[in-house]
Structure 1
Amino acid sequence: MPKCKISASCKLSLKILLLARATEELEAEKAAREEEKVCYLGEKLPPLQLIGLNTDDLQKLCKQIHAKNEMVDEERYDCEAKVIKNNRDELTLEMGDWRKNVEAMSGMKGRKKMFLMHDVRD
């Protein structure tokens, strides 16, 4: 059965259509993420009601916001520390102890011992 050949102009048209479709999908994903972000922030950060608050109430509100900010900053720091530690641990696992792997990496696969035994016997 002969292969189906597509002309260069058809290939170009298909590429253009695929790129246009991919661009549309990326824009839709971006809009969905932005909408999700707005909804999330709306839930987590309700709008401040500052009208009618006296000085003491404003100070209490500022202290509450400052406390929440510190808590979030500590969580961010802890997450960063975990990521750094995890990356460091993965690098250690990848490298491992080089002395244990010297024979395995040398490609001798036990032949080194065989040569040493011949030298000892002779």
Structure 2
Amino acid sequence: MSDRERKSKIPASRKLLLKTLMLQKATEDLEKEYTEAEAEKARTLSEKVPPLQCGGLNLQQLQQLCHKLHKQIDAVDEERYDIEVKVKKNDFDISGLNQKIFDLKGKFKRPNLRRVRISADAMLKALLGSTTKVSLDLRANLKSVKKEDEKEKNAEVTDWRKNIEAMSGMEGRKKKFDTTTA
């Protein structure tokens, strides 16, 4: 028996029960992780930023406290900016390394190609660049048929005897024959 022919030994109701239990466990785990993250965030904030005590301070002391807080904000912003730059640099390096891995393996992801209808002018413009002015007139390369040629043929065919004499090259010889017979 192959794997496809073999039926599952677990009934459908049991499978459904197991799926629901797994989903319940997953939701509980997600909620637990969320509460742990919130607690960690609150703990970190309480360590980094102690609660302000501004009761009973005069104007000079409040100004000093504001200056101190501004300095702390500037330091945090600089640190945040440095971390963002490092993350962007690391992402760029990771993408470059992934590309090198694909190159070394020789496996290239080929995009799905679609048919594109494009005119010859647009294709030449895309190939040669937009700086050059390109026009491709295919009809100009075709032979032109003039209707005057037919009129000339009709004029030449009017006297067929003259045409035959001219083609045979017998103009002078014919005169000889005409004089001897006359």
What's the TM-score once normalised by structure 1's chain length? 0.71
Q: What is the Cα deviation at residue 88 of structure 1?
A: 2.2
The residue aligned with 2:180 is none
Q: Does 1:30 align with 2:20?
A: no
Which letter maps to 1:78?
A: D
Q: What is the Cα deviation at residue 87 of structure 1?
A: 2.1
In structure 2, relative to structure 1, the CA distance for the partners of 1:25 and 1:90 (3 Å cut) is closer
Q: Does 1:85 align with 2:89?
A: yes
Distance 2:10 2:99 in 1: 49
Distance 1:27 1:14 in 2: 20
3-state SS in 2 of match to 1:18: helix
Q: Does 1:6 align with 2:6?
A: no
Which 5+ residue runs of structure 2 have no aligned equivalent? 1-5, 107-182
Greater shift in the superposed pair: 65-74 or 33-42: 33-42
Q: Residue by residue, what CA displacement relative to the aligned partner does 1:7-46 show, whole Å, maximum 9, x if unpaired?
A: 1011001100110011111111111111111111111111
Instruction: From 34, 40, 43, give the equivalent of 2:44.
Output: 40
Distance 1:62 1:36 in 2: 27
Aligned-residue CA RMSD (Å): 2.4
Count of residues in correspondence between the two structures:
99
In structure 2, relative to structure 1, the CA distance for the partners of 1:13 and 1:39 (3 Å cut) is same
Which 5+ residue runs of structure 1 have no aligned equivalent? 106-122
Q: Does 1:69 align with 2:37?
A: no
In structure 2, relative to structure 1, the CA distance for the partners of 1:82 and 1:24 (3 Å cut) is same
Q: Larger Cα Rg: Structure 1 or Structure 2?
A: 2
In structure 2, relative to structure 1, the CA distance for the partners of 1:95 and 1:29 (3 Å cut) is closer
